[in-house]
Amino acid sequence: MALSAVRMALCGSLLQRASLPTTPSNLSDQKPKWYSLCQQPKYITSFVVVLVLIFTLSSVQISFLDRIDSSFKISGQSKGLSVEGTDGCDLSANTSRKSVTELRSRSKGHVATAPCRQDGVNLPQGIIVATTDLQMRSLYPEDEKQVQNSMPNNLLAMAVGIKQKKVVNDIVQKFPLSNFTIMLFHYDGIVDQWQDLPWNNQSIHIVASHQTKWWYAKRFMHPDIVDRYNYIFLWDEDLGVEHFNAERYLEIMQAEGLEISQPGLDSQSSKIHHQITRRHPHMIAHKSILTNSCKPEKKAVPCTGYVEVMAPVFSKAAWKCVWYMIQNDLVHGWGVDFKLGYCAQGLRSEKVGVIDAEYILHKGIPSLSGASAKNAAQTAYDPRKEVRRKSSQEMLEFQKRWTEAARDDPTWKDPYEEYAAAEMRYANARASLGLT
């Protein structure tokens, strides 16, 4: 019955398309040649069966292709290959290395809860280690738990030359190896002559001739490399540490809530460029100074929230910000000290300070360029003058870049805008005179 109905409907449709009458009497009169087929059930039935089969196969094929496409999208998303970006992914899943159990439980859930992928990192999430450390490893089996427990929590990094070996040794002695990793940047290329020191083989040595500590820091102290350390000391080599204890220093820094600091400078230091860095004998720490030029209402640098680039100490969070501020080509670091407060993780007047209880002596020993020499014309000259000239030029260039960056970034708001102009004038004046 069903096939007969389909046959009659099909024949009627053909007659309509041919603009012929559909009544039997009229059809008999016109006698179209193909009409006789409509009177043969076996032919029309076979034709209908073929049409049904074609339609059925087409539907199955479309459904199958849809399933493949859907499967590919899900597979691609799980492998970080989705062309739809990271919409709906879980950013929190990338903040730390997850346990295998947690990652497996995530994989059983919805795709929207999968960790977001970094560009070009098509790896299983559980194998990704986003940060590193400076811990040296044994070539022989070792207890990983013991290794982790014995890893130092803080870092001392210095640019050094063999001529200052004794001074550097005195400094390192103040930093217990149980709590500090020692990393030395050898700007004179000499490493072997340090091997007689007891802490030498437990320290990291990096060599690049005639480079500054800021050049080294930008290249070897990326935040993901020093992520292990709570505090980072980035010091010069010409410092006297007779009155300094590193562990007590950090206790004070934490108690004072400082993110960026430096030890106070002994009044006997060869040069004290900014009075705020001078040690106050009867104080534990200070964050501002009152002088004829630094009135109580003056909150600009260097009257408050200021440390020099000579012996700064950074928290992990502050260092991450400072690292991004360091310019690849401005290797002397002049001018950076005026902007360190922007990395204070809060108000610089509260988070940047000088610690008086643990203080140092700045010896002011020239380094990098060496002693006076003769140029091609055999006339005596002091290479330190060229270093000073370049330092001053870099300071002016850094200030210029900062001004342009602040002007061209509509999303950034300067929290110290009211002091910026005065600070810029002060810094530029010192740069023009060749002062830090």
Q: Which residues partner with 90 through β-bridges?
A: 115
Do 345 and 317 form a contact (C-beta atoms < 8 A)? yes
Q: Give the span between the Cα atoms of 231 and 180, in whole angstroms.
A: 9
Average pLDDT over residues 381-386: 76
Residue 98 binned pLDDT confidence (cut-offs 50, 70, 90): very low
Residue 353 binned pLDDT confidence (cut-offs 50, 70, 90): very high
Choose among 236, 271, 242: nearest CA to 367: 236
Please report, rounded to a whole number, the percentage of residues in the chain having pLDDT higher than 70: 68
Give me the pLDDT at residue 76, please.
45
The residue ranking higher by pLDDT, 27 or 219, is 219
The answer on pLDDT for 18 being more than 80 is: no
Q: Give the span between the Cα atoms of 398 and 392, in whole angstroms.
A: 10
Crossing angle of helices 383-408 and 417-432, rounded to 10°: 160
The residue ranking higher by pLDDT, 375 or 125, is 125
pLDDT digits (tens, 9 = 90+) for 392-413: 999 999 999 999 999 999 999 9
Residue 378 binned pLDDT confidence (cut-offs 50, 70, 90): low
Per residue, the 3-state secondary structure of the chain, as one string, reads CHHHHHHHHHHHHHHHHCCCCCCHHHHHHHCCCCHHHHCCHHHHHHHHHHHHHHHHHHHHHHHHHHHHHHHHHHHHHHCCCCCCCCCCCEHHHHCCCCCHHHHHHHHCCCHHHCECCCCCCCCCHHHCCCCCCCCCCCCCCCCHHHHHHHCCCEEEEEEECHHHHHHHHHHHHCCCCCCEEEEEEECCCCCHHHCCCCCHHHCEEEECCCCCHHHHHHHHCCCCCCCCCCEEEEECCCEECCCCCHHHHHHHHHHCCCCEEEEEECCCCCCCCCHHHECCCCCCEECECCCCCCCCCCCCCCCECCCCCCCCEEEHHHHHHHHHHCCCCCCCCCCHHHHHHHHCCCCHHHHEEEEEEEEEEECCCCCCCCCCEECCCCCEECHHHHHHHHHHHHHHHHHHHHHHHHHHCCCCCCCCHHHHHHHHHHHHHHHHCCCC
Q: Give the span between the Cα atoms of 184 and 31, in whole angstroms.
A: 107
Q: Give the span between the Cα atoms of 7 and 13, in whole angstroms.
A: 10
CA 341 to chain CA centroid, nearest Å: 19
Cis before 198? omega within 30? no
The answer on pLDDT for 2 being more than 90 is: no
Question: Cα–Cα distances in Å, from 16 out to 26, 51, 202, 246?
Answer: 13, 20, 97, 100
The residue ranking higher by pLDDT, 235 or 427, is 235
* 289 token code pair: 């100074």
Give the domain 153-380 fold. Spore Coat Polysaccharide Biosynthesis Protein SpsA; Chain A (3.90.550)
Give me the pLDDT at residue 388, please.
87
The answer on pLDDT for 294 being more than 80 is: yes
Report domain extents, the chain.
Answer: 2-74, 79-127, 153-380
Please report, rounded to a whole number, the percentage of residues in the chain having pLDDT higher than 90: 57
pLDDT digits (tens, 9 = 90+) for 21-55: 545 545 445 555 555 655 566 665 666 666 667 76
Give me the pLDDT at residue 429, please.
76
pLDDT digits (tens, 9 = 90+) for 261-288: 999 999 999 889 899 999 999 999 999 9
pLDDT digits (tens, 9 = 90+) for 106-155: 545 544 455 566 678 899 989 999 999 999 999 999 999 988 988 999 99
Q: Which residues partner with 185 through β-bridges?
A: 159, 206
Question: Cα–Cα distances in Å, from 374 out to 65, 187, 385?
Answer: 80, 21, 13
Give me the pLDDT at residue 299, please.
85
How long a stretch of residues is the chain?
436
